Amino acid sequence: MRGALSLMSLPPMSTSVLLPAEAVAATARAAVPPLVATLIAMDLRLPVAGEARERQVGLLNHLVDGTDVFVQTDREFEPIVERELRHVAAVEYADGDPPPMSDPERRQWWRLQQVWALLRRHEQEIDHRYEFVFKLRTDLDITGAARLADIYTQSIRPSPGPAGAYLLADRLVGAAPSVMERVAGLFGDPFYDGLRGVCGGCGALPGALRSADSGARVFELALGEGDVPSLGCEGAHDALERPLERDALGALQTHLTRQYGRPVHPQLPPSDLATYERRSAHRRQEGRAGGRFHAVCAFSNTFRPGHNFSSEVSLVLQLVRAGVRVEPFRSIDTQLIGDGFGLATWRHERVGQTEDL
């Protein structure tokens, strides 16, 4: 049962004295709400203490400067919100247990659902609509000096055509409110629980996963001519032109076993699909010698025992299904976030606590 939630108005975090000219400029800025909002929906992970913590907090506060920040977290992190984070417009604390959920990875999406509702209530209260919204984590490996507000006004806002979604996996997301609202609905969509399927537009989903800098993959499997399911790769590269077949892997399992051997795990997680893909490559080479094979793109959310929901696959697939263009966040700023997964190395220092993944 979800506990009571509290909404708190926060005082300004700065106690510096402004000169008269600075005070006038600050008053003018305060009269116009920011164009951009930032969502932080997670356990607030920071270095334990010392210079590393001060540096990370300073980098975070600079990154979100010029945006309104909305936070959803547990009550234990209230001192961080009150004493360390700046630019916070509203915060919501989960004082009790979250609702039951099918997988631990869904917890961050429940938090996002809550903080999105918080943002919408705030917009109604101040009669203001944000133009763009970022979702970020406090344990990002921030290596650049840019502000999210400037990235939007200088790089995203001037872009022609409808804005897509800018992703660094599920760790840093930027999107128009209409797209972020769809992302915030991911928690309540059971479609992705235990999802295993075959993608009918072979280029769309794997291309979007690459654009998202995601470690998740879609696997191309070569099937014999008599084993091709009704949903196969039709060479579509711009959208999922055919409907998604949810459990096509179950129907394919007999054919896959006959061609490539029995899988290690009955739920066909990505590790088994990767093995099948490697063996498929040899089959395609045989095809040049006269065999006939067709390709399908397979994916699975059952990526390890006890887990039936992959955040990265689900987020990207949700956007692709909605026809939202997925762009790499690093395409608009190559220096803001460190290489690789973009998470700080000190994030593993906090042990013994339940954490959002």
The domain that holds 86 is classified in CATH as 3.90.550
Q: Is residue 180 part of a domain?
A: yes
Regarding whether 199 and 184 lie in a shared domain, the answer is no
Enclosing domain of residue 281: 194-308
Regarding whether 137 and 274 lie in a shared domain, the answer is no
Regarding whether 249 and 213 lie in a shared domain, the answer is yes
pLDDT tens per residue, range 271-311: 888 888 888 887 777 665 555 666 777 888 876 666 778 88
**CA–CA gap between residue 185 and residue 174 (Å, rounded):** 16
Regarding whether 154 and 138 lie in a shared domain, the answer is yes
Residue 146 has pLDDT above 60, yes or no: yes
**Do 320 and 214 form a contact (C-beta atoms < 8 A)?**
no
Q: Write down the pLDDT at residue 215.
A: 77
Q: Write down the pLDDT at residue 93.
A: 95
Regarding whether 43 and 171 lie in a shared domain, the answer is yes
Q: Torsions phi, psi of 9, nearest 5? A: -85, 135
pTM of this prediction exceeds 0.85: no
Contacts for 70 with CB less than 8 Å, ≥ 6 apart: 37, 38, 39, 40, 88, 89, 90, 91, 115, 118, 119, 122
Q: Is residue 32 part of a domain?
A: yes
Regarding whether 213 and 122 lie in a shared domain, the answer is no
Q: Is residue 149 part of a domain?
A: yes
Q: Write down the pLDDT at residue 201.
A: 53
Average pLDDT over residues 17-33: 52
Regarding whether 139 and 28 lie in a shared domain, the answer is yes
Q: Is residue 118 part of a domain?
A: yes
Task: Tell me the pLDDT band of 351, cut-offs 50, 70 and 90.
Answer: very low
Regarding whether 173 and 97 lie in a shared domain, the answer is yes
Task: Tell me the pLDDT band of 229, cut-offs 50, 70 and 90.
Answer: low
Average pLDDT over residues 321-344: 89
Task: Tell me the pLDDT band of 27, cut-offs 50, 70 and 90.
Answer: very low
Regarding whether 182 and 56 lie in a shared domain, the answer is yes
Residue 38 has pLDDT above 90, yes or no: yes
Regarding whether 143 and 46 lie in a shared domain, the answer is yes
Q: Is residue 96 part of a domain?
A: yes
Alpha carbon of residue 292 to chain centroid:
39
Q: Is residue 162 part of a domain?
A: yes
Domains of the chain: total: 2
